[in-house]
Amino acid sequence: MENIISIPFLVGMAYLFIVLIFRCIKWIAGLSKFDKIRLLKSITGRRLFQSIKETFMEALLHRKIFRKNPVLGYMHMSLAFGWFLLIVVGHLETMMAEHSMFVPFHKAVFFRYYESSGDFYLSGFFAFFMDLLLLFVLSGLMFAIVKRFRKKLFGLRRTTRLKSGDKIALTSLWLIFPLRLLAESTSAAVYHNGGFLTSGVGFVIDFIGNPAILYYPLWVAYSLSLGFFFAALPNSRYMHIPTEVVFIFMRNAGIRLKKQNDSYTDVQVFSCSRCGICLDKCQLSVAGIDDSQSVYLLKNIRNKNLSDEKLFNCQMCGRCQIDCPVGIETIELRTVQRIESTRDYNSSYDYLIQEIATKADVVYFAGCMTHLTPRVISSMKKIFATVGEGVWFMDEVKAPCCGRPLMLAGQYEAARKLIENNSRMILDSGAHTLVVSCPICYKVFKEDYKLPDVEVVFHAQYIDALIASGRLMVDAIGLRMVYHDPCELGRGMGMYEAPRRLLGRMGEVVHMKDEKEYAYCCGGSLGNIKITEDERKLLRNQALVAYESYSPDVLVTACPKCKKTFAAGRKMKVLDVVEVVAGAILAEKPQKVENPLAEQDVDALAFAPDMTCNL
Amino acid sequence: MSQFDFLKPKSRQIEFEQFDDRILTFVLERERSFLTCISCGGCTATCSAGNLTSFNIRKIGLSLRRGSINDLSDEIQKCMFCGKCTLVCPRDINIRNVVLLIKKRIAQLESEKTL
């Protein structure tokens, strides 16, 4: 009869364990053969300790959230780590009281209910410490409740919407610890076995009513809240707690996302805690789009109701991925979903004819976007001519696209056709270097093309190397420049320093608050297929306003698409890196170039369909 | 001569019995901006795929509006999705989305075997 109160808890716990074991088996069975071997190797080798350490640091201490936002970090840590300690210390306490190494699980959870006499070794210390831990968890819980209703206090502008499964789990989670406090307090009032907190609250309960009557219902309520939480957990967002551990182990084993859904995508999807940090980072909210962010993508994949409108409404800029505390690969995940969604309608591009390649040392591929910024091409030509490079301008007249826009749209098979065609052309030319002036092309050339013996370099790197080797000389033109990191180049390829180093040779690059991996997206991204032009303008203006506040002479970027987008904003002069270089080239005899930007004004502002600056 | 096929225009008669709006309505429901197209041809002039073949994105728009979906299904496969058309469009039409929607709808109709 005494044990009856632990039944809800035990039922919930058993259900949870069965579901977890079933899911784990399903996930591991769904991995490819190589991934299974990788996983096996990692849990038998030294990487096991690394995984355990990471689980401790991230899943319990929440180190990454702490770094971003200490208050939010404290909230997560006190709930996760505090609860973990309550379980461990509670178990130790029970072992001490029972003088046994093996005590049943429910005995430890309901220790204060079973244990009536408070006399065993260190009992006073345990009572004090358990109360301290409970206080620790309750403080975190208080933050959580405040956050739900006043999220601004936590530096969060928005938080995620909940569905019914989440609401049950959330309510029971919120009830667990206050009920535990009340239940233990009544025990303390009856048996005098509490610490400073429970004794105090017990005294108050004793003062108000009769603890002996309240004793039983409160413990039952505590057990029920635990049972409800465990039972609701698999169908709520709190499934992220166990899944994150699996995710860390799989990631450390070297398992990566494929070009199709497998169980690793599932693990990533279930690892999302819906903390909402990605919502805050996403620029789409400026344009009033608030249903397609990464957290909703993951939620929709999980609930199997992902619509094309949401899937393709994302800039793919990667700002959310940088800040995800769980380390979910949001951009790759979205790409995989796009591949899955458009698998039925890939193109074959049978019409592509093999053009004859010209033999050259260096191949220059401008790319579609660069063709819309002719000043970039003429600047590149000027530099090639100055250094006397034997270059073949591959797509000057005719060439297919690089394939990256297709990949961003999920048309992976179609993109492979273009890649094959372009690869053959480049290899036929016998070149040792491929220079590209568009980050969109650069990413796909680096990642998806197989070009043995051909070095793919971005134009900023190439020119910087030319200057460093003395083949090209530039003058310091003393401009104050703000450098905009293009998404595909910065977060996409991790190249932040090369363009800055190059610009630093000619002028001053202003340091900003939101730069490098935290840089804004220009709004023009090819990754987004659903956004309207008016919404793009709002995104662009957000970035422009931020850059304007540093009052630079010129806004420099390294992407033709960013350049066109910003130039249409008509707020400041926008130049590509290579245009700045072309304007600062020293001829044979050094002479001061007078106002190198004067002739470039027209082009920088040439394309501006909107004549008004709507802010 | 394929470069100059505008010199020998085909029949301009439109068969209203053959008007099939299944793709058009699908596109318009999801991409309203297509309504504002003035058929200026800017997209066709800049098109990467059009540079390599006779692909003509303006004609795609025309076939779409005339409901001649048989013309669409082969032609639309040639688009390379580079996005230059969207960038030059004076009416700010999201042409990439239009192309994606046409491809999707054609795939749907093909799977239903009603194309």
Give a yes or no: residue A246 inside a domain.
no
Strand partners, A508: A480
Which of B48, B44, B89, B88 is closest to B62 using CA atoms?
Answer: B44
The alpha carbons of chain A give a radius of gyration, in whole angstroms, of 30
Task: Name residues 39-58 of chain B within 8 A of A (Cβ).
Answer: 46, 48-49, 51-53
Domain ranges of chain B: 19-111
Rounded to whole angstroms, how far apart are CA atoms A241 and A330?
A: 18
Output B32-36 pairs: Cβ under 8 A, ≥24 positions apart. B33/A532, B33/A533, B33/B91, B33/B92, B33/B93, B33/B94, B34/B61, B34/B64, B34/B93, B34/B98, B36/B91, B36/B93
Does position A157 have pLDDT exceeding 60, yes or no? yes
pTM above 0.90, yes or no: no
Interval A77-101: pLDDT, tens: 999 999 999 999 999 988 888 888 8
Nearest residue in B to A348, CA atom: B77
B52–chain A nearest CA distance, Å = 6
Contact A368 B82 (CB under 8 A): yes
Interval A400-410: pLDDT, tens: 899 999 999 99
Contacts of B92 in chain A (CB under 8 A): 532-534, 609
B19-111 in CATH: which number?
1.10.1060.10
A-to-B residue pairs, Cβ atoms closer than 8 angstroms: 87
Q: How far is the CA of A210 from the CAs of A36, A186, A221, A396, in angstroms?
A: 59, 9, 17, 89
pLDDT band at B3 (very low <50, low <70, confident <90, very high): low
Strand partners, A474: A585
SS3 at position A531: coil
Q: Which residues of A459-495 are buried (b: 16+ CB within 10 A; e: fewer)?
A: bbbbbbebbeeeebebbebebebbbbbbbbbbbbbeb
Is B109's Cβ below 8 Å from some Cβ in A? no
The helix (H) or strand (E) run that includes residue A557 is: strand A554-557
Rounded to whole angstroms, how far apart are CA atoms A237 and B59?
A: 49
Q: A190 and A99 in one domain?
A: yes
The residue count for chain B:
115
CATH number, position A426: 3.40.50
Say what the pLDDT of residue B15 is. Answer: 76
Lowest mean pLDDT among A188-192, A239-243, A283-287, A436-440: A188-192
SS3 at position A31: coil
Say what the pLDDT of residue A614 is. Answer: 40
Is A531's Cβ below 8 Å from some Cβ in B? yes
**Residue A242: HSE in the Cβ half-sphere, 13 Å Cα cutoff:** 16
- Show the domain range for A577: 472-604
Interval A458-475: pLDDT, tens: 999 999 999 999 999 999
Task: Give the neighbor-by-neighbor strand order of the sheet with A455-458.
Answer: A391-393, A362-365, A433-436, A455-458
Rounded to whole angstroms, how far apart are CA atoms A314 and A311?
A: 7
CATH number, position A338: 1.10.1060.10
**Residue A177: HSE in the Cβ half-sphere, 13 Å Cα cutoff:** 25
Give a yes or no: residue A318 inside a domain.
yes
Residue A338, burial from CB neighbour count under 10 angstroms (0-12, 13-18, 19+) = buried
Q: A78 and A224 in one domain?
A: yes
- Model ipTM value: 0.89
Interval A28-63: pLDDT, tens: 999 999 999 999 988 888 888 989 999 998 888 888
B107–chain A nearest CA distance, Å = 6
User: Mean pLDDT score of chain A, rounded to an integer?
Assistant: 87
Q: A68 and A146 in one domain?
A: yes
Contact A368 B52 (CB under 8 A): no
Contact A202, A189 (CB under 8 A): yes
**Residue A85: HSE in the Cβ half-sphere, 13 Å Cα cutoff:** 18
Let me know how many helices (H) and strands (E) chain B has, helices first: 7, 0
What's the domain count of chain A?
A: 4
SS3 at position A524: coil
Is B115's Cβ below 8 Å from some Cβ in A? no
Is A85's Cβ below 8 Å from some Cβ in B? no
Contact B83 A531 (CB under 8 A): no
Contact A314, A535 (CB under 8 A): no
Is A303's Cβ below 8 Å from some Cβ in B? no
pLDDT band at A145 (very low <50, low <70, confident <90, very high): confident
Give a yes or no: residue A564 inside a domain.
yes
Does position A611 have pLDDT exceeding 50, yes or no? no
Q: A112 and A137 in one domain?
A: yes
Does position A609 have pLDDT exceeding 70, yes or no? no
Phi, psi of A554 (to 5 degrees): -155, 145
Does position A594 have pLDDT exceeding 80, yes or no? no
Does position A264 have pLDDT exceeding 50, yes or no? yes
Q: A383 and A333 in one domain?
A: no
Rounded to whole angstroms, how far apart are CA atoms A498 and A463?
A: 10
Say what the pLDDT of residue A36 is. Answer: 92
SS3 at position A490: coil
Instruction: Tell me how many degrees the CA angle A244-A248-A250 measures, rounded to the nearest 5.
Output: 115
Say what the pLDDT of residue B70 is. Answer: 84
Q: A79 and A137 in one domain?
A: yes
Give a yes or no: residue A43 inside a domain.
no
Rounded to whole angstroms, how far apart are CA atoms A183 and A174?
A: 15
Which residues, 6 or more positions from A209, have their beta carbon under 8 angstroms from its beta carbon?
A: none
Q: A220 and A101 in one domain?
A: yes
